[in-house]
Structure 1
Amino acid sequence: MSSVNVCFVHAPSIYDFRTRDLREGPISDVVPSTPVFEMYPVGFISMLSYLTRHGYSARISNLAVLMLSSKKFNAEAYLKGIEADIFGIDLHWLPHVHGAFEISKIIRKIHPESRILFGGFSSTYFAEDIMKSNQNVDFVMAGDFVEDQVMKLAEAVEKGKPFDTIPNLVYREGTAIRKNPRSRDPEAVSRVFIDYKTLVRNSIIYHDIKGHLPYYSWVTNPVGMTIIQRGCQFNCGFCGGSNFAYRNNYYEISPVKRNPETIALELEAVQDTINSPVFLAGDINATGEKYYTALLQAIRDRGIDLPLLTEYFVPPPEEYFRAFSRTVPDFACEISPDSSDQNIRRETGRFYTNQELEKSIQYAAENGARKFDVYFSIGLPLQTKESVTRDADYLDFMMNKYSSEKMPVYGFISPLTPFLDPGSLFYEMPEKYGFSIIAHKIMDYYNLLDRGKSWEDFLNYETKWMSKSDMVEATYQSGIRMVESGSRMGYIDSTSGKRIVNNILSYMNGETYTPQSDKSKHLTYLVKEIDWSRKHGISAFSMMIFSYSLFERIRRTITRN
């Protein structure tokens, strides 16, 4: 039985998703995850790295991936085999509240002497409410940049020290709930290091590759991740990580830019281990020319040669793409304008025109981008079913006009689901932006997920312009349109496209439909797996992962037969 100071546990969104009669919906199409949100926060890797560098033992147990992998997987039996002083359960994204609470019950039952820690943005926002509502939780680590605080907590639990000097900690003292002051350490950002070498090493040490996987399809489609900054320059109304939300709830400064040299070191660690594409979270262009020039220089200095997946909050200009492509010739882009209606877009906090967006897509193509993803949202202020139809029309137009063999353009439309982010402008000022929110306490959200059967049941909001049923109808009608567009563009073969459309129509009409037996796929998601031979280099671990993926495919084939 393995024993560690801290075991970081990631639960599925809904704990009993394998046995409950659920009608899966498009609630996770915008991340490389599934309808159970099995991708754990990248902060797990940073905290794991920090603890192990300082002599503490730690591991990751992605229960969501393990539960997706096999109907026979027994979470309780698996957890019995892990001894830990602290089980750290993330409740970063609010849709995990059901799974996180259920896992805390199981851990308390089988490990009554262990301590249970919650952390993440949603844990921070609802910290006292969680402590009052869930007696299984001993601690909440509030805020951001908590690597050092988690280590101090591990030390305090191991050595029996008091908790009152640990910054950010919310804890129990008898029947009282105590809140320690937040850290004001200016060096906190320097402790963040997303080290895939540690992740790989740990998966081998604990003989648990699958438990350490960031998401289900990582074996066949591994993508690393790093973060340019914490917090944000912008105030998109729905975002729980916006400048407004971050400063008011998680850290006093926003954004906090990370050292370009540190990011280059993280990329180097990926290159030395999984040798895969890396998603750079955060808008590099928005950090300013001085910053991104330093980052690109650091990448060149370390000889980084990886495909990079980049995201943008405003359309970058030509000079940015020119500079970026000189250092990173193999890159892809994504942007979320949210709506083709510029009035709706402005209401969400995005202040650029369709012309600026289209020019930026052209600049990306001219400078060698491999693909460009454009994401629109459903459930916005001023938005109606008719405006969503126009969004689908506009995405179809852009895909046809700007796609090429060298740079395909993919369009996506997805609802803001299942919940508006706590702390966001829309959540804090719903009347101002035309929202009606129907859940406010942590148990309200738990109950929505516990009692609901479809993603419509889970929604915590409506708008002045669209009811829940309107948003559901708009989602699937636009989904049909995007599948048809994808078929015409050759992104989906004709037979699969017709099958998906018929399935959506059956789902909408309450008729018999074919749920995905493989929970790693989704009813309407266009899975664009990256070709191993073109995008992934060879390393010892990449070969091990490749061999493991072959084993998994063979195992699943035998199981099906």
Structure 2
Amino acid sequence: MMSNLGHSLPSLRSDLVLIHAPAFFDFRNRRDIYFPFLGTSGDVPITPLYEYFPVGFKTLQRFLGERGHEVRILNLSSILLRHPGLDFDKIALALDTPLVGIDLHWMVHVQGSLAVAERIHSLRPDIKIIFGGISSTYFASELIQYPYVDMVMQGYNTHEPMAQLLPAIKAGRAPSDIENLMWKDHDGNVRMNDFAHKPNVYGCGIDWSQQPRDAKSTALPIMELLSTQNAGCAYNCGWCGGSREAFRRVFKRHRTMARKPKEEISYEFQTIRNIPDVNNYHFYSVGSYNESPQGMHFFLDLVGDTGLKGISYEQYFLTSEDILKHMVRANKRTSITLSPESHDHTISKLSGRGVYSNEEMEAWIERALEIGIHNIDIWYFIGMPQQTPQSVDETVDYCAHLLHKFKGRNVNPMICPMIPFLDPASTFFEFPEQHGYRVFHRSAEQHRKAMESASLLNRINYETQWLSREQLVDVGFRAVRRLMEIKGSVSALPKFCVEDYNAAIDDALEFIPVVHEADCIKDPVARARALDALGDDILKRNNMILFDGVMNQAFPLNRGIGGRWFDEMGWDAATLEAAESA
């Protein structure tokens, strides 16, 4: 191990450090890559760096911790957003660990994850680097070829293999018997162990009792938790890398559901009850659409005993009346998210949804509100088969209809373009021509290079017969803009929020083509010169998007970065500030 000498951060001692990289590294002070404003449609607002880390980090931390291994989590995205003057090398030099794990779960992180691995390898050749996650599993044979990637752990539940790997690493023993592991021996030869650990159970319960604290994030703090009760999916949406068929492709397993044991779900809720001020926390239940009625009733009983401020559920079908009533008994501030993807039933079915009509949905909304459901979100996606610019406009028209019909009743339609990536392993990615898609980037390296494009348009990995990459952005941004304007007109959002939000959209719509034109210049010298001329404007916009706060369509007000469940920074704020200024 390297000592603490020569840097201003105390050593971070651990048997395993899990690092979540920003989507682009290093994003600070970049004058040659533009991050346009859009505002996420997701539940928790994040920046274009996608600072969410996979919740599997938390389950792995607990599982390994209970077996005597110390595991620390570093959300590098959050650290560098909160401390933009901090030299990453100080972090790398402070690591006192034999093994760093880097997630490549969502493909949007491919450039950042690989760049962080490369920098750690350069500074700390004594540390082994292992990749894991859905995208890591899919691209394992390619990732292991990078000289700075020592191992790739494949699988959706890698707890047992990791528990076997850590003692081998500590003892300096070759991990030739560790299932699911792809690794390099001392001579640099790639070894592929059996990809055989594919259990029917998913993970373990998360210990939520300790939450990140950030004294600076006092304005509208984001106090949310999330969890998932299963891996895999019962459904087969063609655009999704976590769908039923994608799960089979990635993990080579016919059975597509692995469930968290009931006792582990109970443990999770027990720890939630121990959070100070738990009544100020909102909970997002991921994958609840995969639960049976019996599983949902069990889950809802736990929710009812927890005292959370509110809870959100994603639902694939229109939730049955008995479940709705139980949801309301469990928590009066219950939100349900539906995702029909399009108002057009044909497009909705082609996308993998289409299990109810608009008329059925509206009748269900009426009844759900009568029963006492507090809020209903309806998400629409842009980039689906047979979806034209006119169809997108008609979806926004239908959203306007919903807003007028349910005015003042917490029914919130949202729309978002599917950018930058169509998920690798998804049906549309694997068989693009059959579904009207064209895929521009297929390998991990092609995606990595694309993420280094100055222009958002060149980062996008697909287009459809009906929407080009340019239209995905232009039509998509304008759809968001018009829907926000409609919400302002019916008082679903304050007008000042809409005006600020749409001013940022307008600026992005104006500046995206300017950056794109420069990015597409063939001559590298002329391209660099054109981007340099735009550098000040790029930097100004990036700093506003990345460092002024976060927002989403549901809550379009800037909120402080820090204190979210995934803002794990390794050191306390004072220590990081001291290192930043050193």
Normalising by the residue count of structure 1, what TM-score does the alignment of the two structures yield? 0.86
- How far residue 6 of structure 1 moved from its aligned partner, in angstroms, is 0.3
CA distance in 2, matches of 1:219, 1:177: 49
Match 1:280 to one of 285, 292, 297: 285
- How far residue 392 of structure 1 moved from its aligned partner, in angstroms, is 0.9
Cα deviation 1:241-263 (Å, max 9, x = unaligned)? 10111122136221223233422
CA distance in 2, matches of 1:27, 1:383: 22
Partner of 2:498: 497
Structure 1 pair 151–403 and aligned structure 2 pair: CA distance change class (3 A): farther
Partner of 1:431: 433
Partner of 1:517: 544
Alignment of structure 1 residues 415-454 onto 2, 5 Å: 415-450=417-452, 452-454=453-455
Alignment of structure 1 residues 2-81 onto 2, 5 Å: 2-21=12-31, 22-26=34-38, 28-30=40-42, 32=44, 33-81=46-94
Partner of 1:115: 128
Partner of 1:228: 229
Q: Is the CA contact (8 Å cut-off) linking 1:311 and 1:335 kept in structure 2?
A: yes
The letter of the residue matching 1:473 is D
Partner of 2:468: 467
- How far residue 151 of structure 1 moved from its aligned partner, in angstroms, is 1.7
Q: Is the CA contact (8 Å cut-off) linking 1:261 and 1:298 kept in structure 2?
A: no
SS in 2 for 1:238: coil
The letter of the residue matching 1:193 is G
The letter of the residue matching 2:25 is Y
The letter of the residue matching 1:506 is D
Which protein, 1 or 2, shows the higher relative CO under an 8 Å CA cutoff with sep ≥ 6? 2
Q: Does 1:343 align with 2:324?
A: no
CA distance in 1, matches of 2:497, 2:27: 26
CA distance in 2, matches of 1:346, 1:16: 40
Greater shift, 438-447 or 25-34, is seen at: 25-34
CA distance in 1, matches of 2:77, 2:558: 23
Structure 1 pair 326–4 and aligned structure 2 pair: CA distance change class (3 A): same
Q: Is the CA contact (8 Å cut-off) linking 1:235 and 1:244 kept in structure 2?
A: yes
- How far residue 523 of structure 1 moved from its aligned partner, in angstroms, is 8.2
Quote the sequence identity (%): 24
Partner of 1:333: 336
Partner of 2:523: none
Alignment of structure 1 residues 130-209 onto 2, 5 Å: 130-132=143-145, 134-173=146-185, 174-184=187-197, 186=199, 188-189=201-202, 191-197=203-209, 200=211
SS in 2 for 1:359: helix
- How far residue 505 of structure 1 moved from its aligned partner, in angstroms, is 2.6
- The alignment's C-alpha RMSD in Å is 2.9
SS in 1 for 2:336: strand
Partner of 1:291: 295
- How far residue 517 of structure 1 moved from its aligned partner, in angstroms, is 1.8
SS in 2 for 1:196: coil
Q: Is the CA contact (8 Å cut-off) linking 2:336 and 2:377 kept in structure 1?
A: yes
- How far residue 185 of structure 1 moved from its aligned partner, in angstroms, is 5.7
Gaps of 5+ in 2: 1-10, 515-536, 568-572
Structure 1 pair 30–327 and aligned structure 2 pair: CA distance change class (3 A): closer
- How far residue 472 of structure 1 moved from its aligned partner, in angstroms, is 1.3
Cα deviation 1:34-83 (Å, max 9, x = unaligned)? 11101111000001111111110110000100111132122221222121
Q: Does 1:357 align with 2:361?
A: yes
- How far residue 442 of structure 1 moved from its aligned partner, in angstroms, is 0.8
Partner of 1:394: 398
Q: Is the CA contact (8 Å cut-off) linking 1:308 and 1:328 kept in structure 2?
A: yes
CA distance in 2, matches of 1:523, 1:480: 15
- How far residue 187 of structure 1 moved from its aligned partner, in angstroms, is 6.2
Greater shift, 336-345 or 266-275, is seen at: 266-275
Gaps of 5+ in 1: 204-208, 532-540, 546-550
Match 1:527 to one of 544, 552, 555: 555
Q: Is the CA contact (8 Å cut-off) linking 1:238 and 1:348 kept in structure 2?
A: yes
Q: Is the CA contact (8 Å cut-off) linking 1:310 and 1:332 kept in structure 2?
A: yes
CA distance in 2, matches of 1:247, 1:486: 41
Cα deviation 1:133-191 (Å, max 9, x = unaligned)? x21010011111111211211111001223121111111133432222223464643x4
CA distance in 2, matches of 1:502, 1:307: 31
Q: Does 1:129 align with 2:142?
A: yes
Structure 1 pair 437–31 and aligned structure 2 pair: CA distance change class (3 A): farther
The letter of the residue matching 2:182 is V
Structure 1 pair 374–240 and aligned structure 2 pair: CA distance change class (3 A): same
SS in 2 for 1:509: helix
Count the aligned residue pairs: 519
CA distance in 1, matches of 2:156, 2:358: 35
SS in 2 for 1:270: helix
Normalising by the residue count of structure 2, what TM-score does the alignment of the two structures yield? 0.83
SS in 1 for 2:227: strand
CA distance in 1, matches of 2:246, 2:208: 29
Q: Is the CA contact (8 Å cut-off) linking 1:144 and 1:251 kept in structure 2?
A: no
Q: Is the CA contact (8 Å cut-off) linking 1:325 and 1:368 kept in structure 2?
A: yes
SS in 2 for 1:308: strand
- How far residue 349 of structure 1 moved from its aligned partner, in angstroms, is 1.0
Partner of 2:118: 105
SS in 2 for 1:294: helix
CA distance in 1, matches of 2:201, 2:394: 45
Partner of 2:521: none
CA distance in 2, matches of 1:475, 1:501: 13
Q: Is the CA contact (8 Å cut-off) linking 2:20 and 2:53 kept in structure 1?
A: yes
- How far residue 292 of structure 1 moved from its aligned partner, in angstroms, is 1.6
Q: Is the CA contact (8 Å cut-off) linking 2:107 and 2:421 kept in structure 1?
A: yes
Structure 1 pair 310–217 and aligned structure 2 pair: CA distance change class (3 A): farther
The letter of the residue matching 1:51 is L
Partner of 2:320: 317
Q: Is the CA contact (8 Å cut-off) linking 2:396 and 2:483 kept in structure 1?
A: yes
The letter of the residue matching 1:517 is M
Greater shift, 102-111 or 481-490, is seen at: 481-490
- How far residue 386 of structure 1 moved from its aligned partner, in angstroms, is 0.7
The letter of the residue matching 2:433 is E
Structure 1 pair 470–303 and aligned structure 2 pair: CA distance change class (3 A): closer
Q: Is the CA contact (8 Å cut-off) linking 2:23 and 2:108 kept in structure 1?
A: yes
